């Protein structure tokens, strides 16, 4: 059975988001901006003014650094585009979503169902995962134009805020819904049933590590 395919605006209506089901394949049209630790720190910790009208221009935050260059004449060349793992940004996302009205968080690997329930659902937002990873060339084809690159001087090319005009950019997979359910956790639970069988016959290492015991007064032998 092939997944359902949906084309979605980067400024989606509440109804369009409510329609999405875990595992749906989504293609995005409209403006999407990249923001990761550099942008979050600058906007939230250093309180710099965000150089876009959010969410009016875009409600889609891409955890991404593109393989791209800024030419000497100021134009841009966009090659491949893929996401970076999102779990590291949980620290900033609640405040970011409250401030910018982001409805689509697009990245790699998703967040936990706890994150979804705590601040995605109350903000009416869902998580879209890139596919692969990563389908960088396919996603690159979906970028019609680079509209702007903000904070390049302050943050460098990889951390700058790239504003991408997307035309049926994809594929992405719906990894959370408005119940706060998590696609990856659903899959983990199915796989977990088999884990004991795969490990059968193996034994724990002779020398333990902290982490296997979180009591630092323990020895590891």
Q: Residues interacting with another protein, by CB under 8 A?
A: 1-3, 23, 25, 64-69, 77, 79-85, 108-110, 129, 131-141, 156-159, 171, 173, 184, 187-188, 190-191, 193-195, 198-199, 201-207, 209
Helix (H, G, I), strand (E, B) or coil at 117: helix
Nearer to another protein, 55 or 63 (CB): 63
* Residue whose C-alpha is closest to residue 135's, from 164, 103, 173: 173
Distance in Å, CB of 187 to another protein, minimum? 5
Distance in Å, CB of 122 to another protein, minimum? 23
Distance in Å, CB of 11 to another protein, minimum? 23
If one counts every other C-beta atom within 10 angstroms of the C-beta of residue 220, the result is 12
Distance in Å, CB of 205 to another protein, minimum? 6
Report how far apart, in Å, the C-alpha atoms of 157 and of each of 5, 101, 189, 203, 217 are.
32, 25, 39, 46, 45
DSSP 143-208: EEEEEEEESHHHH-TTTSEEEEEEEEEEEEEE-B-TT--BHHHHHHHHHHTTHHHHHTT----SS-
CA–CA distance, 146 with 75 (Å, rounded to integer): 9
Nearer to another protein, 49 or 71 (CB): 71
Nearer to another protein, 15 or 192 (CB): 192
Nearer to another protein, 74 or 198 (CB): 198
Distance in Å, CB of 13 to another protein, minimum? 26
Nearer to another protein, 55 or 107 (CB): 107
């Amino acid at each position: 059975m092939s997944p359902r395919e949906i084309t979605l605006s980067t400024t989606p209506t509440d109804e369009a988001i409510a329609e999405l089901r875990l595992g749906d394949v989504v293609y995005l049209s409209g403006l999407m901006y990249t923001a990761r630790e550099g942008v979050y720190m600058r906007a939230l910790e250093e309180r710099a003014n965000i150089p876009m009208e959010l969410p009016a221009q875009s409600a889609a935050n891409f955890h991404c650094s593109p393989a791209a260059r800024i030419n000497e004449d100021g134009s841009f060349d966009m090659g491949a585009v893929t996401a970076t793992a999102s779990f590291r940004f949980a620290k900033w996302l609640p405040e970011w979503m409250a401030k910018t009205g982001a409805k689509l968080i697009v990245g790699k690997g998703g967040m936990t169902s706890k994150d979804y329930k705590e601040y995605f659902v109350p903000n009416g937002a869902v998580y879209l995962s890139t596919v692969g990873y990563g389908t960088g060339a396919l996603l690159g084809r979906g970028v019609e134009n680079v509209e702007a690159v903000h904070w390049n001087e302050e943050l460098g090319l990889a951390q700058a805020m790239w504003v991408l005009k997307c035309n049926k950019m994809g594929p992405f997979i719906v990894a959370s819904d408005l119940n706060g359910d998590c696609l990856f956790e659903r899959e983990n639970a199915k796989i977990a049933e088999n884990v004991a069988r795969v490990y059968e016959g193996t034994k724990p290492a002779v020398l333990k590590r902290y982490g296997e015991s979180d009591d630092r007064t323990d020895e590891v032998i």
